[in-house]
Amino acid sequence: MTNVKLAVVFYSMGGTNYQLAKWAADGAKEAGAEVKIVKVQELAPQSVIDSNEAWKATVNATKDVPVATSEDLEWADAIIFSVPTRFGNMPSQMKQFLDIQGGLWASGKTINKVVSAMTSAQNPHGGQEATLLSLYTSMMHWGAIIATPGYTDPIIFGAGGNPYGTSVTVGQDGKMIEDVQGAVKHQAKRTVTVSEWVKKGNQ
């Protein structure tokens, strides 16, 4: 059986979700997956980005990361999404990316993709769970298989205990408050494992 192919698809304004994506990629590689990290297209006006130093720095830090395409999703057996919360929803940049996958969906190429998601916000109850659920709603329409971390490992409790997906609080200084690296890696490994089960069942 070939290794699981995992796409880590992220949107990041302040760098947090880019870091989560890199940790997820590390965890998935440790589990034997073939991994690619891709970012969704930035839609915000350049003038708005330029007015925010952290945003501008993140755009620069991720300038060499490929922009996600439908081909990346078709290639992948499993997908991990990482997005900040926007008023309890996913950012418009990620929503736009999902919204233009109608052709992939209509041809049945989203069916049985194993998916999981992570998020961040500036407050512990700043919409993290609602953001993940909003993304998972789209995945249900895709016919994807959602692999949440649940409470499958004690490390999840130390990271805040979000069963829907790893979430982290980011302080005003832009730094993560909880230590979530281990939880992210566990979630990635679990996603790869579930994808292996699906692949084996399909062969």
Q: What's the pLDDT at 202?
A: 66
Residue 14 reports pLDDT greater than 80: yes
How much of the chain exceeds pLDDT 70, in percent?
A: 99
Contact indicator for 73, 112 with CB cutoff of 8 Å: no
Pairing outcome for strands 34-39 and 5-10: parallel
Q: Which residues have CB under 8 Å from 149's CB, separation 6+?
A: 116, 156, 162, 163, 165, 166, 183, 186, 187, 190
Q: What is the pLDDT of residues 74-113, one digit of tens each?
A: 999 999 999 999 999 999 999 999 999 999 999 999 999 9
Return the SS3 of 50: helix
| Helix ranges (DSSP H) in 45-170 | 46-50, 53-61, 70-75, 92-99, 102-106, 128-142, 155-158
Q: Domain segments of the chain: what residues?
A: 5-202
Q: Please, which residues bridge with residue 50 across strands? A: none
Q: Does domain 5-202 have CATH number 3.30.420.10?
A: no
Q: At what angle do helices 92-99 and 128-142 cross, to 10 degrees?
A: 10
Nearest 5 degrees, angle CA 35-CA 39-CA 40?
A: 135
Q: What is the pLDDT of residues 49-80, one digit of tens each?
A: 999 999 999 999 999 999 999 999 999 999 99
Contact indicator for 79, 40 with CB cutoff of 8 Å: no
For residues 21 and 117, what is the distance between their CA atoms, to the nearest angstrom?
10
Q: What's the pLDDT at 32?
A: 96
Question: Distance between terminal CA atoms of the chain?
Answer: 9
Sign of the CA dihedral with 195 first, then 197, 199, and 202 last: negative
Phi, psi dihedral angles at 99 (to 5 degrees): -65, -25
pLDDT tier for residue 38 given thresholds of 50, 70 and 90: very high
Q: What is the mean pLDDT of the chain?
A: 96
pLDDT tier for residue 1 given thresholds of 50, 70 and 90: low
pTM of structure: 0.96
